[in-house]
Amino acid sequence: MRRDGAIVRFVAGRFPMPVPAFSIAASLSLQPIGLLGGVSSGEIVVVLVVVLIIFGPKQLPDLARTIGKALQGVRKAADDLKQEIGLDELSRPFTPRRGPPPRQIPPPAPEPVARDPVEEKGGESDE
């Protein structure tokens, strides 16, 4: 690292290029974990360090065991609830039943058209 805060990076076939330290820090930034909704892994590390400081290394195994049992209970309750309301059936892929094709109903026959009586020409007139 140079005195101005830039780190010299060697690229194959090129001269050494100074790279600002903040760009390297940005490239090493920790990505958010999808399970916790926007909580990055860096924040999780900070929380774990604080827990280590508060509870100490002697109580951590008991704390982890208690948290594990609590999560196991929550997971079991969620599975029981899914089974009770039938979400397992909804998650299965739909397979249509195979059977005879539906019967085709023929269209109705056209009704015969009644013709109006035709008056004869040259017949008697009322006048």
Residue 7, H or E segment: strand 6-9
- The residue among 30, 22, 17 whose CA lies nearest residue 5 is 22
Domain spans in the chain, listed from the N-terminal domain onward: 1-29, 58-89
What does each of the 127 residues of the chain score in pLDDT, given as a tens digit?
A: 445 554 544 445 455 555 554 455 455 555 555 556 677 888 888 988 898 899 888 888 998 899 999 999 999 999 898 888 876 676 677 777 777 777 888 888 888 777 766 655 555 555 5
Which tokens hold the place of 66? 């208690």
Which tokens hold the place of 54? 């508060």
DSSP code for 6: E
Nearest 5°: phi and psi at 53? Answer: -70, -40
